[in-house]
Structure 1
């Protein structure tokens, strides 16, 4: 065999190996060697939070664990982190899957691969009791020149700007607890976050705050929650999507998630991850 033929064969073998590796994906390789599927999530009730021994609880965690079980995967390893560490941790290989109230947004789609959406998450406002400023939308906040508070990196920042709220009137804090604190202390006239997170916090605060009707917000402000995967695992995502299609909206799913406040209005409808990645 000539040297050129040997090199050509070697190049073909290397290329074939690379293609095979790319197709298999890191997570499939991990599973094939008997390793666990590491689910990364932050403590963000009711979407995802740790129970005893870090058991993955909450809407999205419960959903994902069941879909994986139906796919035949039961070796699950929960990994609790902070919200800001989810996507970097996935990219760094510390997790295989990330969950929680992870909205499918164009900026995030540039870095990770999302499953098809599994829920619609409406946005609401948090105000003082009696809603003294009479606000129920971003348009009200902008028109009255009020200060709002939301979480750092939340999609609501972009939504508010789109509706005319100047950046100088948008206070950013770590999360829902700090959003409530800012409104209670009157550092902001309204807090903005997803309705379920606000409702969860309101249970602990009592009559110090009030949540506006999420239906008063424009429909386009609703987020659609998906499950995050590494870009190398598109083959696994396709299998996950096929399995979740058979589970989403079933009585079994609705019963399992009802305890966390999930209802039929939160089903994602006909929105796809492809559309959301291009339009949100």
Structure 2
């Protein structure tokens, strides 16, 4: 291939990319049109979103998000890791264009950022010492036994626990999953409230840890996962949602997330982000 031909193809590619975003308004569309990468922020959460040994984005939420963007024709992606509590502030401060990593769509979060249509559904559970000495299965069990629950700062389990009657004196907040595991193993907490994906991962990799049954928790603790955007990128998110509809549940997507334990039972069904924002 001649140099002139290569330059022609590159020019055509730039023209196509520019045309694709020309009808989309917002800061992210401007970045794409300028040839800048789409910046994805995520936290180090087992199974959901984490960096591998090379720093590449792994976890089923990242796999799905990257797959959707690829379907849209976007492969110029830059990823970075931050504390869980820094995801939404980082998006609002324009440090990221999209945030992944397993954000549940919650009414309280919907006041601050926009969510894509759901890409997964998942329940919560607790990690407890092997044998579950305090018989903890629910938030009510923690409340009635006077136990201490540890969870991550910014986790949905804080809202859930308080809804079930727990006060701040029974809720220990730490930066993330590894600190939660450490608190339970050291006896500083009696249970660690987190997603079932995280809890099951810890139980499988730690002989002195068990995981509780997520079905023991109330139905309203079943949550839906979305991808976070700034409100001003609503046009881009609308195009993203079109790709969500055509990609989520496909053989290609299911193959990409199989290693993380995502199965057809985790597909979001017909629930919309609007419904979830109003009901969670």
TM-score scaled by structure 1?
Answer: 0.87
| 1:246 aligns to 2:252 (yes or no) | no
Instruction: Give me the whole-angstrom Cα distance separating, in 1, the residues matched to 2:277 and 2:62.
Output: 22
Do 2:116 and 2:237's aligned partners in 1 also have CA atoms closer than 8 Å? yes
Instruction: Give me the whole-angstrom Cα distance separating, in 1, the residues matched to 2:165 and 2:96.
Output: 38
How far did residue 155 of structure 1 move? 0.9
1:75 alignment partner in structure 2: 76
Do 1:38 and 1:97's aligned partners in 2 also have CA atoms closer than 8 Å? yes
Do 1:40 and 1:86's aligned partners in 2 also have CA atoms closer than 8 Å? yes
Question: Could you list the runs of 5+ residues in structure 1 that have no partner in the other structure?
Answer: 1-20
Where 2:137 maps in the other structure, the secondary structure is coil
| 1:148 aligns to 2:149 (yes or no) | yes
Do 2:149 and 2:172's aligned partners in 1 also have CA atoms closer than 8 Å? yes
| 1:265 aligns to 2:265 (yes or no) | yes
How far did residue 53 of structure 1 move? 4.3
- Cα deviation digits, residues 90-148 of structure 1 (max 9, x gap): 11111111110111112211111110111112100111111111121112112222221
Instruction: Give me the whole-angstrom Cα distance separating, in 1, the residues matched to 2:136 and 2:85.
Output: 30
2:32 alignment partner in structure 1: 31
Matches within 5 A, 1:45-84: 45-84=46-85
Where 2:85 maps in the other structure, the secondary structure is helix
- Cα deviation digits, residues 34-70 of structure 1 (max 9, x gap): 2111111122121111235432211111111111111
Instruction: Give me the whole-angstrom Cα distance separating, in 1, the residues matched to 2:177 and 2:31.
Output: 35
2:219 alignment partner in structure 1: 219
Instruction: Give me the whole-angstrom Cα distance separating, in 1, the residues matched to 2:163 and 2:86.
Output: 27
Instruction: Give me the whole-angstrom Cα distance separating, in 2, the residues matched to 1:131 and 1:53.
Output: 37
1:171 alignment partner in structure 2: 172
| 1:160 aligns to 2:161 (yes or no) | yes
Do 1:176 and 1:198's aligned partners in 2 also have CA atoms closer than 8 Å? no
How far did residue 196 of structure 1 move? 0.8
| 1:108 aligns to 2:109 (yes or no) | yes
Do 2:85 and 2:175's aligned partners in 1 also have CA atoms closer than 8 Å? no
The 1:22/1:232 distance shift into structure 2, 3 A limit, reads farther
- Cα deviation digits, residues 230-266 of structure 1 (max 9, x gap): 1110001010001110111112211110111111111
Where 2:154 maps in the other structure, the secondary structure is coil
Where 1:259 maps in the other structure, the secondary structure is helix
Corresponding residue pairs, total? 259
The 1:218/1:59 distance shift into structure 2, 3 A limit, reads same
Q: Which runs of 4+ in 1 moved over 3 A?
A: none
1:136 alignment partner in structure 2: 137
1:208 alignment partner in structure 2: 208
Question: Could you list the runs of 5+ residues in structure 2 that have no partner in the other structure?
Answer: 1-21
Do 2:118 and 2:273's aligned partners in 1 also have CA atoms closer than 8 Å? yes
- Cα deviation digits, residues 149-175 of structure 1 (max 9, x gap): 111121111111111222211111111
